[in-house]
Every structure is written in C-alpha cells, then in structure tokens.
Structure 1
Amino acid sequence: MKLSIPRASTLTAVRHATSTSLIAPAAAIRTFSVLNRPPPNYPGHVPLTGVERAALAIGSGLISFFNPRRADTIAAFAEVTATPYFIYRLRDAMLASPTGRQILRDRPRMTSTSLNLEYLRSLPASTVGRTYVEWLDREHVTPDTRSAVRYVEDPECAYVLQRYRESHDFYHALTGLPTVREGEVALKAFEFANTLLPMTGLSVLAAATLKPSERKRFLSTYLPWAVRNGLRSDEVINVYWEKEMETDVDELRARLGVEPPPDLREIRKREREERKRRKEAEMSGAAV
C-alpha cells in the first residue's frame, strides 16, 4: 500500500489556516474599552463594556425603584438586564408563533401616526382600537412617549424589546389598569408572570412604596390576579395589535386567556368620595 504524505507546502497551509481560524474568533470577541468602542449594530445602538453595563444596571435599578415614574431609567434598566437570557427567551417565544414570526418579519412600529388615532376613535365602542384610544384619552398619554432601545446588542432582540415597550399601553387597555402607581405595579406583576423580564420584576417590588391601603389591596386582589392571568395567558408579545383593532375586545381577552381585574379607577374614585363624605360629616359635626 502506498502511503500518501502531504507535501510540506500543504501542511504549512493547513497549519496557517488552523491558526487563523483560532485567532479570528478570539479577535472578534475580544473585550473593548471606552477608548476602543466598536461600531453600533443598529441606528442608535450604544455598545457597553461589562463594567458599564453593570454600573448602569445598578444605578438605573436603584433610581427606578425609588422613582417608578422615571421612564428613562426604567428603560435603561430593562435593556441592560434583558440579556443574556430573558430577551432571547422572549424572541424565541415570538419565533415559535406564526403571528410572532410575522411581527418579526414586518417589524411594525406603533406611533400616533402609524396607528391613525382618529380612525380608532370612529370604531365601535367594543373594539380593541376604540378601547385602546379611549384609554389613551382618559390617561392623557400618547404612543409617542416610548424611547428607542439603545443598549441591547442583537438588532433582532432590540426590536423585540422595542415591541414590548410600545405594546405596554395595549396591555393597559386590555386590562383597564390606570397609569397611577398602583395600576402600574399591578400591570408589571402581570407582565413579569408573562414575559419574565427582570425590569418588570423589579417594578413589582415598588409595591413596598405604596400607601398601606393600596399595598393591602395589591397583595389581596391585584397580585393574585396578575400571577394567575400572566401565567395562564398566551404570550402577549405575539399579539399583532395593528391587525386586531376591529376585533371585539372581550373576544381578544377570551382568546388570550386574560380576565380584566376589578376596576381600579372606580375603586379609587369610591374611596375618594367616601373620604370626602367623612370629612364633610366631621366638619358639620364640629360646627354643631
């Protein structure tokens, strides 16, 4: 049997190719510094070092906990804590759904222009679109207040988080929860059970900052509702809201497996009226 031995030039080429293949990935994944920052992966992207990411997570987390209305710090905390696992889990949930895959292909954005709010106001009262726009009007908010994702490395995952962020007001409309702190905490508990995003879990801890009566109501009523509905319902990230505007809102709730909680706005209104009556009674009694 004749043994075939590669020529020296061939062995050299193989060794060179092998060494190059080992070195190239290492160079591609090497860490960078603030003085050697790589180019952005998409418009608006800000690459972060590991130290920067950790510092931003701690700082934004503390600020968000003590001031839940700081949308900028909440957004930053959501982005730096979504990786390496949670945002990929949410992306995979979209890839597992035909509707989710279509959303990822189309990558629609939700703004006051793209949603045509005037058209939504013309829809029947029972529709998703009318329910949504009436919630916007009642809470005095617009779809244009959601900031762009900046700190997620993967462009597709960045869009997934952007989609979640822009869908937040639809979750409010679907559940009827208002934007007061008590309502936001209840909705974040629902979102945490459904999405597992760390930011939503941190927001639930803000229940500690509620008034005693609000905290008691959250623990007895809204937290059990949020856990039950968040776990059993479909992945709400897979709702193609733009295609559901003319759908009956109760039909969509039934399809997703979401039951609306007790009307928090109405409960708070009755409490205010009761406090006002008691105060007037006390004043009239003191006058006598």
Structure 2
Amino acid sequence: MKPLSHLVRLGSLLAGLELLEVPVADLHVAVVVVHALCETGGGAGAVVLLGLLRNRSFSVLNRPPPNYPGHVPLTRLEKAAMAVGSGVMSFLNPWRGDLIAIFGETTASPYFIERLRRAMLSSPTGRRILRDRPRITSESLNLPYLRTLPKNTVGGTYVAWLDREGVSPDTRTSVRYIDDEECAYVMQRYRESHDFYHALTGLPVVREGEVALKAFEFANTVLPMTGMSVFSVTTLKPAERKRFWRVYGPWALKNGLRGQEVINVYWEEEMETDVDELRRRLGIEQPPDLRDIRNREKEERRQRKLQQEQQQQQATVFLLVV
C-alpha cells in the first residue's frame, strides 16, 4: 500500500505544479519529487514544490514587480479564471462597470490590444496620443468652458450629452491587468473615450443604447469585451430586440467597419470642431435618436393607459347610473 500512497501524493503534487504553471516536463524534477516522496513520505515533496515555486520567475507565490503604478501581474490561469468569472457576472448585471473593466482587460491580451496599439502607431494622430498620454477627466477637459461652446461643436455636443445622461468622465477605473505598459494606456484611452463615442452617435446610457454602441465598438476595435457585450441583446425587451436587429445592429456593423479607427481621435483637439464635420471625416452616420424614440413610446404608453382609465371610469359611472 505504501507505493500506492506515494503515487497518490505524487499525483497531487504534480497536479498542483501544473495548476501553478510549474514546468514538470523536466525528468530531473520528476525524479527529485519521487525520490523525496519515497524517502520521507511526502514531507520533502512539499519542500521541493515550494522550492520550485520560489525559484520560478512567475507564479501565484512569486509575482514579478508591477510594470506601472497599479499593475497586478497575473498568471495565465488567473487571467482565464477572472475572464470567465467577470464575464458571467457582468452579463447577469451589466451595470457592474468594475466587472466589465476586468473582463475587458483579461480578454484583450495579447492579440486584440496589440492590434489596437498597432492601429494607433500607424496613424500620425495615434502616435501623438501615445507620446502625449493625455487623460480624459472633467478637470482636463474643463467642462465649464465646454458649456460655453456652440451646441454644434464636438465639445458642446459632448457636454450636453453628459448633462442629459447624468454622466461624469471621472468614473473610469484605471487599467490593472494588462502587462505591457503602453498597451495598458491604449486600453485606458479606449475606456475614457467611450463617452465621446456616445456623444458622437447620440446613443443614451440605457441598456439598449449600450448594446448598440458596443456593437459599433466591436466592429471598429475588435475588442472581445465589446463583442461579448452584444449578447446582452437577449436581455432586452421584445420591441427593443426587434429594433436592434432592424435598425441599430445593421447601423453599428456598417459604420464600425467602414469608419476610421475612433481610437485615433485626439478629442482634446477637436472640441471646437463642428460635430457633423467630424462625423463626415470619420465616416460615421448618426443613427436615429434612440432617446427620442423611447420617450415617444413612453408617452404613447402613458396616453393609452390614461385612455383606458378614462374608459373604465366612464363604464363605472354608467353602471352606477343604470
């Protein structure tokens, strides 16, 4: 029975090594672990395991230093677990911005965020953005000044959208789980530019508007998080789903694919630009005003309900008279 117990312990240790991404393919490592198990009944095997973990360049017990302030290095296993967990939870609760941010970061590396970075490097404006590293906040944009701009300017349109939707540019969380420092900034720039995409398209922050905008962003940026967010269309009301497939889905696909890379817009330099001129330059058509459509539908429902109540009251009065 003793050899069998050794094999069980060996299997447990090897499973632990594999989960922690310790390279156990080396025959010498396997021999050392087996020898330690056979000689000491497993105690030295644990010591060997801990020694391997300490000597590794990267494991859950031995992380490298962060590459930038706030950076949290993760193993592949940790990234996969966080991607699955945050993806499921953000689908169930799409208002959890923190979970959506985690899902976006853990699924963007390595290919997708690198593609977006290359898109910026291929553009003179994108290269300037990467060099200057501007941040989009209420202070950096000077919102009081933007409120003095004409309504047809980018700045005027943006601040009017913020005020209408009750949104602030200061709510975007910092990137933490992308290893490359420049790619982390690219993700941060995308995240902070999201409200400009809203203002440019006029889409509101209601779930229906977010799904439409995420579909546009996916066609334009190819970030997996934006594509997965489109599956939230299944949570919309029947009338909203029908409208998405008939109107906003085709609009998002057409404009996202044919439009310029919106990540390369230096928003801080476009505040006084006519918003329609910027849309033409980017090749983006403004979709039907979703907020206006929803308000009209809401008013129609209110009127129908009022008419039904009046009819019920009239019927009640008639019965009382009779």
TM-score calculated relative to the size of structure 2: 0.80
Q: 1:215 corresponds to which residue?
A: 241
Q: 1:104 corresponds to which residue?
A: 130
Q: 2:256 corresponds to which residue?
A: 230
Q: In the TM superposition, what is the alpha-carbon distance from 1:219 to its structure 2 partner?
A: 0.8
Q: Distance in 2 between matches of 1:274 and 1:111?
A: 38
Opposite residue 243 of structure 2, the aligned amino acid is R
The aligned runs of 1:127-146 (5 Å cut-off) are 127-146=153-172
Opposite residue 152 of structure 1, the aligned amino acid is I
Q: In the TM superposition, what is the alpha-carbon distance from 1:77 to its structure 2 partner?
A: 0.3
The aligned runs of 1:150-165 (5 Å cut-off) are 150-165=176-191
Q: Distance in 1 between matches of 2:305 and 2:159?
A: 36
Q: Distance in 1 between matches of 2:57 and 2:164?
A: 48
Q: 1:148 corresponds to which residue?
A: 174
Q: 2:276 corresponds to which residue?
A: 250
The number of residues matched between the two structures is 259
Matched residue SS, 1:68: coil
Q: 1:195 corresponds to which residue?
A: 221
Of 235, 238, 241, which residue of structure 1 is paired with 2:267? 241
Q: Distance in 2 between matches of 1:163 and 1:181?
A: 23
Structure 2 unmatched runs, 5+: 1-55, 315-322
Q: Distance in 2 between matches of 1:50 and 1:188?
A: 26
Opposite residue 88 of structure 2, the aligned amino acid is L
Matched residue SS, 1:114: helix
Between structure 1 and structure 2, the one with the greater Rg is: 2
Q: Distance in 2 between matches of 1:64 and 1:261?
A: 26
Moved over 4 A (4+): none
Of 40, 44, 65, which residue of structure 1 is paired with 2:91? 65
Matched residue SS, 2:141: coil
Q: 2:26 corresponds to which residue?
A: none
Q: Distance in 2 between matches of 1:52 and 1:254?
A: 43
The aligned runs of 1:17-32 (5 Å cut-off) are 32=58
Q: Alpha-carbon deviations, 1:167-204, whole Å to 9, x = none?
A: 00000000000000000000000000000000000110
Q: 2:301 corresponds to which residue?
A: 275
Q: 1:169 corresponds to which residue?
A: 195
The aligned runs of 1:121-132 (5 Å cut-off) are 121-132=147-158
Is contact 1:31–1:49 with CA below 8 Å preserved after alignment? Answer: no
Q: Distance in 2 between matches of 1:119 and 1:237?
A: 24
Q: Distance in 2 between matches of 1:125 and 1:53?
A: 44
Opposite residue 98 of structure 1, the aligned amino acid is P
Q: Distance in 2 between matches of 1:138 and 1:167?
A: 18
Matched residue SS, 2:60: coil
Q: Distance in 2 between matches of 1:63 and 1:108?
A: 31
Matched residue SS, 1:113: helix
Is contact 1:177–1:264 with CA below 8 Å preserved after alignment? Answer: yes
Opposite residue 67 of structure 1, the aligned amino acid is N
Q: Alpha-carbon deviations, 1:128-180, whole Å to 9, x = none?
A: 00100010011111110000000000000000000000000000000000000
Opposite residue 57 of structure 1, the aligned amino acid is A
Q: Distance in 2 between matches of 1:50 and 1:229?
A: 35
Q: In the TM superposition, what is the alpha-carbon distance from 1:68 to its structure 2 partner?
A: 1.0
Pairwise CA RMSD: 0.7
Opposite residue 242 of structure 1, the aligned amino acid is E
TM-score calculated relative to the size of structure 1: 0.89
Q: Distance in 1 between matches of 2:106 and 2:306?
A: 50
Matched residue SS, 2:186: helix
Q: Distance in 2 between matches of 1:31 and 1:162?
A: 28
Matched residue SS, 2:136: coil
Q: Distance in 2 between matches of 1:51 and 1:85?
A: 17
Matched residue SS, 2:64: coil
Matched residue SS, 2:72: coil
Q: In the TM superposition, what is the alpha-carbon distance from 1:31 to its structure 2 partner?
A: 5.5
Q: In the TM superposition, what is the alpha-carbon distance from 1:67 to its structure 2 partner?
A: 1.1
Q: In the TM superposition, what is the alpha-carbon distance from 1:50 to its structure 2 partner?
A: 1.3
Is contact 1:41–1:153 with CA below 8 Å preserved after alignment? Answer: yes
Q: Distance in 1 between matches of 2:230 and 2:107?
A: 15
Q: Distance in 2 between matches of 1:237 and 1:274?
A: 39
Q: 1:9 corresponds to which residue?
A: none
